[in-house]
Structure 1
């Protein structure tokens, strides 16, 4: 996550809804080369500077919502409505989002901090503020115990967060990167909240290019990966730089001097044995120890474009670069499908649960964007 500007963003009025029609067909107008079997457009002409996304299903209506974190605040898009409308939920700059049940976790604020929000509370508060004649902010009328947004203590200056679920125990974990250490929180279902379980003081790299949890079978808590580099040999093509959150001593693992690694990097755990790593314009499928994943003909998938982000969807790797998407089969590296158009820039906003893609005209860096979700 890049540093936040100290200037407050320009915010729409709280009662403002942002509406944009989603064209039913091309009609010979704006080119839509990236629509088809991969993605479906959900918003045309988005004015927000989007930084993060997550999804939420309203428990009463069962309507699927796309939640957007942006420099302008947190917004929701009800994908069941015939007219695409963005509604403001929370009026503060946001750089990271995660939803679990009806709780939304965010890194928000001019000085970033981890927050917990009641999605139902935010949703109902937004509806009340849109009613004519309402001049008092509804949250001032709520009892203290029903406040919709609360700060997580001791997380001021949070740079980013990551989450993971331990498949053996079913526990959900959230890890936050602070200025000089990390905090680990665990989800407690009866209380519907994340609670602090560990705090480690350690100076993290700057910039922090990788921050992901890795769950090791048999370990109670995950490790947090804070760096990745090319390995010393084909038998170990990846080196992970991790903090073991299970120990109070000898918990930092680092295998020698970390070589420079140009270009984007990404670490995503696929299952208890396999980790997907974007490194040196290729996707490597490796074990938690950095060795090639077993049982694959092609554990290394090279690309002929400068890949910026990747996601695994239905046994295929989708690789996103500045002007398109390549889809390759895991195990064989065969090219299955490709979208390529120099007139548009592509940016993957989220690779968790539902993929969210943003496009803009290449020659208009400040133009409004179009938003798509995985078809």
Structure 2
């Protein structure tokens, strides 16, 4: 498991099996190589990160931001860890970074990063702020940079396939093509559906999305139909991760500072 932790935020790697074993082990001092939690080198100041699998090429990447740069790490099986392969300067990096979503192009190895979405004079077109990490130089190829105050409040930009995205706002979602143009059916209907609640985070499944809110989650397919609905006002829920396993934190509503329970949602697999 990866996390951003510490007083001065930095990326950490956690071996969950070793962490559980360490609770009962009598060994107090371990070589750095065998410690269950280790700092990832050269990531101090990381404020946001995301993981994506390139299903076309078979690689897995972890990308994050540090100041005005984006680092790219690739999963290396022999060492069972991520290794940095590139760092790209982004002079127009938003501050703070509110959105950081990874998009895969089947013809490219590295992902493209979406740093935000803003409106345009055309209500059927959104401006996507993209950084292409595949350029040969150490400087970024940045499409449509914008001021932070112009950004829309977006929970997540979800890649549906090679030609379309789902822009998830707090109360609804809209489908667009890769250029930000809203998809419209032949009979003139806009590809848009409501969440009927205010959501905090989104996970993409093969045929639907899971929209997480304070007291549960709602599953909605791409036609706007509800596939499942959990609303538990006795607990507060928070999505922690969704790479393969969807991990959720749960705390009692009347004691939000108490120890939390970690839940793994069975029967779901993130396909992003």
Q: How far does residue 170 in structure 1 lie from its aligned partner after superposition? A: 1.0
- Stretches (4+) displaced over 6 A: 294-298
8 A contact 1:261–1:280 mirrored in 2: no
8 A contact 1:242–1:252 mirrored in 2: yes
* Alignment partner of 2:89 out of 201, 218, 224: 201
* Aligned pairs, number: 260
Does the C-alpha gap of structure 1 residues 168 and 293 become closer, same or farther in structure 2, counting only changes over 3 Å? Answer: farther
Rounded to whole Å, the distance in 2 between the matches of 1:285 and 1:324 is 24
Map Cα deviations across residues 205-262 of structure 1 (whole Å, 9 max, x no partner): 23321112211121232111211234554543x3321211122366111166663424
Map Cα deviations across residues 93-122 of structure 1 (whole Å, 9 max, x no partner): xxxxx4xxxxxx443333222234555655
Partner SS, residue 138 of structure 1: coil
Q: Does 1:109 align with 2:1?
A: no
Map Cα deviations across residues 253-308 of structure 1 (whole Å, 9 max, x no partner): 1166663424x521233443333321252112333322345889763112332222
Does the C-alpha gap of structure 1 residues 351 and 292 become closer, same or farther in structure 2, counting only changes over 3 Å? Answer: farther
Note the aligned Cα RMSD (angstroms). Answer: 3.3
Matches within 5 A, 1:329-344: 329-330=221-222, 332-344=223-235
Rounded to whole Å, the distance in 2 between the matches of 1:221 and 1:229 is 24
Q: Does 1:179 align with 2:67?
A: yes
TM-score under structure 2 length normalisation: 0.77
Q: Does 1:319 align with 2:216?
A: no
Which structure has the bigger radius of gyration? Answer: 1
8 A contact 1:230–1:279 mirrored in 2: no
Q: How far does residue 357 in structure 1 lie from its aligned partner after superposition? A: 3.5
Rounded to whole Å, the distance in 2 between the matches of 1:345 and 1:372 is 12
Work out which structure has the larger RCO, using CA pairs closer than 8 Å and 6 or more positions apart in sequence.
Answer: 1
TM-score under structure 1 length normalisation: 0.58
Rounded to whole Å, the distance in 2 between the matches of 1:146 and 1:120 is 12
Matches within 5 A, 1:217-256: 217-230=106-119, 232-233=121-122, 235-236=124-125, 238-247=126-135, 248=137, 251-254=141-144
Rounded to whole Å, the distance in 1 between the matches of 2:132 and 2:264 is 35
Q: In terms of mean alpha carbon deviation, does 203-212 or 215-224 score higher?
A: 203-212
Does the C-alpha gap of structure 1 residues 156 and 368 become closer, same or farther in structure 2, counting only changes over 3 Å? Answer: closer
- Gaps of at least 5 residues in structure 1 are 1-97, 99-104
Partner SS, residue 152 of structure 2: coil
Partner SS, residue 200 of structure 1: strand
Rounded to whole Å, the distance in 1 between the matches of 2:13 and 2:227 is 41
